[in-house]
Amino acid sequence: MKILQLLTVALACAVVTAMAQVPAPSASAPPVPAPPQIGAASYLLMDFNSGRVLVEHNADQRVEPASITKLMTAYVVFGELQEGNITLEETVIVSEKAWRTGGSRMFIEPGMQVTVEDLLRGMVIQSGNDSSVALAEHVAGTEEAFASLMNHFAVQLGMQGTNFVNSTGLPDPEHYTTARDVAILSLATVRDFPDYYPWYSEKEFTFNNIRQHNRNTLLWRDPAIDGLKTGHTEAAGYCLAASAKREGMRLVSAVMGSDSEANRASESQTLLNYGFRFFETVQLYQAGQELARARVWKGLAEEVPLGIGDELFVTIPRGRYNDLEAQVQMQPKLTAPLEVGVIVGQIAVSLDGEPVAERDLLTLAPVEEAGFFGSSWDSMKLWFDAMFEDEETEPGAE
């Protein structure tokens, strides 16, 4: 638990280290083998909490997303639900365009009134193209307008290699994504919509007296897997975005361009098994946790507590937690007044001398400026400190 010990920042010290030297690797920690090589055209494995990429191959290569597109269709609709713009219970009148959309279907019919919830489940579980178009038209009026919303959220999420022109994933030269962007979107879906995400683990859905199964066959193989979405067209090949959680650790994978339905499942399983077997994710610090204290000049308080603004997770090889090293670097002198959230330095975490994570170090409490006498006294001490520092740096000084 060395890395969780509180750090004390000394008055004239700009760097504080949690451990004096980089320790030798733990004797009990097994070596991490090279990542598995699978047959898909591109793929990526990422940890949910830390965001660390554990495996990648051609992750930024432009590919067709096929029905994985519906992850973003659902993301937009989930956002509308969360904002209160629509409800699960309200009904949608199915258009002829939605009914005529080819490919996978939940078998809605023109003029039929279907609830938003049924359409969502028909899209998430059955991968219905017809339900995707019906939802897009309900939210934005037209599928084209809805695609602009999809692209808006893609930009917000940092999906730099993605462009959508429809809600279904039917082929179009200007409709594309990358394995990295699919993993980013999968992570965001789990993180941002925990109330709706469980639909991705449902194995079947019955609508209009027709029962269909979820195309994600991993849901039957591994109880740790609880999503997300499959995709297939002749041009895209077989694709799968998957997520699994074991012993509190969640991983997200994106496999694009496999050559069969069976292979996209086995290749995804291979990636996930590798991540869970050889890595672990640990929370080092909580948001707002006091990690250090710093001297404050000219303030009503002599010290200010320091911490980070969000939770800090790191993903490391299994058995290496006690080998982590934390180092704080901060401004040598802080002067009041100080507000909450002022960046005064950084905290960096490393393993074997290699960086693992870095966060800004923030003030956790305000410090008001002292009155005239307190401020004057500190000003005098700062003046003397500066004078002696100048003397020590003069040429020929010992």
Q: Which of 42, 50, 70, 229 is catalytic?
A: 70
Which among 50, 95, 127, 253 is annotated as catalytic? 127
Reading the block at residue 339, the tokens are 């507000």
The helix-helix angle for 70-83 and 129-140 (nearest 10°) equals 40
Residue 389 buriedness (CB in 10 A; 0-12 / 13-18 / 19+): exposed
CA distance linking residue 302 with residue 336, whole number of Å: 10
Q: How many CB atoms lie within 10 A of CB 392?
A: 9
Q: Is 70 a catalytic residue?
A: yes
Residue 127 annotated among the catalytic residues of the structure: yes
Neighbours of 51 (CB within 10 A): 14
Please give the Cα distance from 9 to 17 (Å, whole number): 10
CA distance 273 to 159: 26
- Sequence-distant (6+) residues with CB within 8 A of 394 are none
CB contact burial 84-104 (16+ within 10 A = b; e otherwise) = eebeeeeebebbeebbebebb
The single residue listed with the structure tokens 């520092």 is 389
Backbone φ, ψ for residue 42 (5° rounding): -150, 150
User: DSSP state, 321?
Assistant: G
Q: Is 307 exposed, middle or buried (0-12, 13-18, 19+ CB in 10 A)?
A: buried
Residue 234 three-state SS: coil
- 379 as an active site residue: the answer is no
- Cβ-count burial of 224 within 10 angstroms (0-12 exposed, 13-18 middle, 19+ buried)? middle
Distance CA 179, CA 391 (A): 59
- Name the active-site residue from 67, 95, 167, 186: 67
Catalytic residues: 67, 70, 127
